[in-house]
Amino acid sequence: MPVPSPSSEYSQGPRPALIAMAATAALALSACGGGGGNDDGDGDPPVDIPQAVSITELEGDWVQKGCVKTGAQSFKKTLRARITGEATLDYYEGVQTFNGNACAGAPQAVGPTKLGVVSFARSEGNQALHAHWGEFRTVTGPRFGAIWTLRPGNLLCLLGDEIPSNQATLSAVAASVATIPADNCFAR
């Protein structure tokens, strides 16, 4: 087999026809989804596409989704997150009490009271879940690992964790969050 010389057609790089064919193939694949990711045919984008995530989505007042019934009364926990720095927030909790056991009518608010500060080390998310890993330091000093998650529909769920995290990936956090009843989480 002859070896091409430096002046042969092979040493001048790919031919224009090959470049055009490669560009056409790439364009066709990108138009039909490229053959990767979510191949279930339902037209929804895959949930594992990373998204930019910020703790600003956690800021504000939240109310427990579920109703806790205690005899002739009922209540819902409240949560307030107030951002105090680029990766920190003050964490408050209170309660809304109701006459009757259905969390209906006008609530009476108690609190919120500051429980401590959460310092987040990292945040990650996709279309199904946003997670914020950090450390919760109580007003009395003890510290705990914490993961604050935001599910679709503005549903805030809190997870306890270890330091360092024993749920270091978004998929591990998603598996834990899947076991939490929505009534234990908070909504706006």
Residue 134: which of 48, 52, 49, 55 has the closest Cα? 55
pLDDT tens track for 153-174: 999 999 999 999 999 999 999 9
- The reported pLDDT for the residue numbered 47 is 53
**pLDDT for the residue 50:** 77
Question: Which segments of the chain are extended strands (E)?
Answer: 60-64, 68-70, 73-85, 88-99, 108-125, 130-138, 143-151, 155-161, 186-187
CB contact at 8 A, 187 and 156: yes
- Tens digits of per-residue pLDDT, 87-112? 999 999 999 999 999 999 999 999 99
Kindly state the tokens that stand for 186.
């908070």
| Model confidence, pTM | 0.74
| Percent of the chain's residues with pLDDT above 70 | 74
